Amino acid sequence: MAEVSVKEKDSPKLPIPGRRNILITSALPYVNNVPHLGNIIGCVLSADVFARYCRLRGYNVIYICGTDEYGTATETKAMEENCSPKEICDKYHAIHKEVYKWFGISFDEFGRTSSPQQTEVCQQIFHTLMENGWLSENTMQQLYCDTCKRFLADRLVEGTCPTLNCNYESARGDQCEKCGKLLNPTELLDPKCKVCKNTPRIRDTDHLFLELPLLREKLESYINSMSVAGSWSQNAIQATKAWLKEGLKPRCITRDLKWGVPVPHEKYKDKVFYVWFDAPIGYVSITACYTADWERWWKDPENVELYQFMGKDNVPFHTVMFPSTLLGTGENWTMMKTISVTEYLNYESGKFSKSKGIGVFGNDAKDTNIPAEVWRYYLLTNRPEVSDTLFTWADLQAKLNSELLNNLGNFINRVLSFIAKPSGLGYDSTIPEVLDADSHLLTKTLAEKVSKHIEQYLDSMEKVKLKEGLKTAMSISGEGNAYLQESQFWKLYKEDPTACAIVMKTSVGLVFLLASLLEPFMPSFSVEVLKQLNILPEEKLTFCDEKGETDKAKRPWDLIPSGHVIGKPEPLFKELKDDEVELFRQRFSGSQADRKEKAEADAKKIAGQLKATKLSGLTQILFTWKRLMWEKNLREQ
């Protein structure tokens, strides 16, 4: 199937007066590892679906994202791989970009927080906050490692979570992965330096703080109004209220690190900004990389709507920290209108984990040879919108084989294959002439059902209920299959040619409709269906109010004109078999480290066999090829 790549950069789009202008961001993926499927559905894929939907509606939209590159985790990864933080960022930024390209994520700009624009925007916001009196200086106690001779930032410390009934033994210094509670490193029980594993001691160090308590009134006013106007998801509201209920405290915005945005203050010139202070500012700076007129997007709240997508662990930083930062400047910022939050996608019997290498990662998905549109479909039907959901290989197989292959693919292939049959058996690939389709009772009933589904689809998507939108679109495929069966078109072709022409012209219209409605979810599928219909991608059905195509879509027999010649029908999906599923389950069991160890052992075994055995020329070549393939896979782990 045709690959749909990351959107090519055209001339920058700017807000247009009188149009609906939508600015979309997804949480900036951290650059220290390959994104796993939980990361992908939690932010970039969900945002991509909404961005594509907005384009389908004719809205003026840009989708901004990029890699979050500063902070302790990057320094830690650089130590592990014995290179500089910049080299780590260059390496993983390229990997992220390639993964998202394969998944068909249509960014308008995919940037980096290590850009000069990030330093400029971040430091300017800092200066304004300082001038407005929202920053304070204070001495805080911080863990210091005598072995490494450095203060330990949050992620350089691990210990036992102090939260009652949690007791997770691998809690980070900034947050417990198990219970989600935000922490300070000094609160951890039995803390250890992640680098040398020794126990650090507490020392005093001076830092700058954002005075959240003083900004509380402004913040609560924003939250109370925008959470209603923007229909914030319940999990976002709950997480935000929990922070407010606990009581806002001054938040430290500086760190004793080298890799980050330098603090432009003489006393703190050897420090950098805390990654959670500067990372959300990355949305702004990456937009500045996209266009020099970035303020037209970010400082025009009357004409621009900001939608943000993220996992639940990122919520307080986007509903409390970042808004407080912007409100503190006193400038007319475009504040977040709608926040779409996902819970966790878990893997088989446990959690996806970047740090532990557990689960299926973006490059793994590509290596399975299961097409990108299948992965997109599965992740979106399984999107954890209100509670955690579970990825299992058996469920992926079931959804591919029953929903995509037997429902959607079967409907489209039946329709197009019949039309493509030669005259006397079908329509010789030409859409037949039809009169009075709406007087055909079965067709009229179908059109009424499809009309309701279209309205429900648009309503769900406007409310960012993506899973519901996808389910509704797929229902149209189900209606199409039932319509074909009830009409018994194969009999009508001989017995009632007029009725058969109505059924087939209506059905091919449904195929066109499905290619359009499902484009936000499975863009490469849409491209392939349009190719089989012999319709250019840019000619797909849109749902712009001014074009009136939404009403036209409710009369599917009118969507493709009589006399239009379709392309060659081909199967759209391939069955996933039991033995393949079992192979994948075994291949991706355990952690990345386990898989690497197994690959090394297998490679050594093959090398030993080669050395110990006298082989014929052809067999030698085959064994050598196999060994090289193992080594290639090993390098890619």
Residue 630, pLDDT > 80, answer: no
pLDDT score of 261: 97
Residue 365 to residue 37: CA distance in whole angstroms = 8
Encode pLDDT of 477-520 as tens digits.
999 999 999 999 999 999 999 999 999 999 999 999 999 999 99
Residue 30 to residue 77: CA distance in whole angstroms = 11
Residue 374, pLDDT > 90, answer: yes
Residue 260 to residue 75: CA distance in whole angstroms = 10
pLDDT score of 552: 85
CB neighbour list of residue 66: distance below 8 Å, 6 or more residues apart: 28, 109, 110, 111, 112, 113, 282, 286
Which residue has tokens 């890799």? Answer: 259
Q: What pTM value is reported for the model?
A: 0.87
CB neighbour list of residue 470: distance below 8 Å, 6 or more residues apart: 377, 380, 381, 518, 521
Q: What are phi and psi of 370, to 5 degrees?
A: -80, 125
pLDDT score of 599: 47
Encode pLDDT of 280-332 as tens digits.
999 999 999 999 999 999 999 999 999 999 999 899 999 999 999 999 999 99
Encode pLDDT of 211-265 as tens digits.
999 999 999 999 999 999 999 988 899 999 999 998 999 999 999 888 999 999 9
Mean pLDDT of 368-384: 96
Residue 566 to residue 550: CA distance in whole angstroms = 23
pLDDT score of 129: 98
Residue 559, pLDDT > 70, answer: yes
Encode pLDDT of 575-629 as tens digits.
999 999 999 988 887 655 555 555 455 555 555 555 555 545 555 555 555 555 5
Mean pLDDT of 372-401: 95
Helices in 57-84 by DSSP H: which ranges?
72-80
- Chain centroid offset of residue 157 CA: 29
Q: How confident is the model at residue 110 (pLDDT cuts 50, 70, 90)?
A: very high
The pLDDT > 90 percentage for the chain reads: 72
Reduced to 3 states, what is the DSSP secondary structure of residue 311?
A: strand
Q: How confident is the model at residue 81 (pLDDT cuts 50, 70, 90)?
A: confident
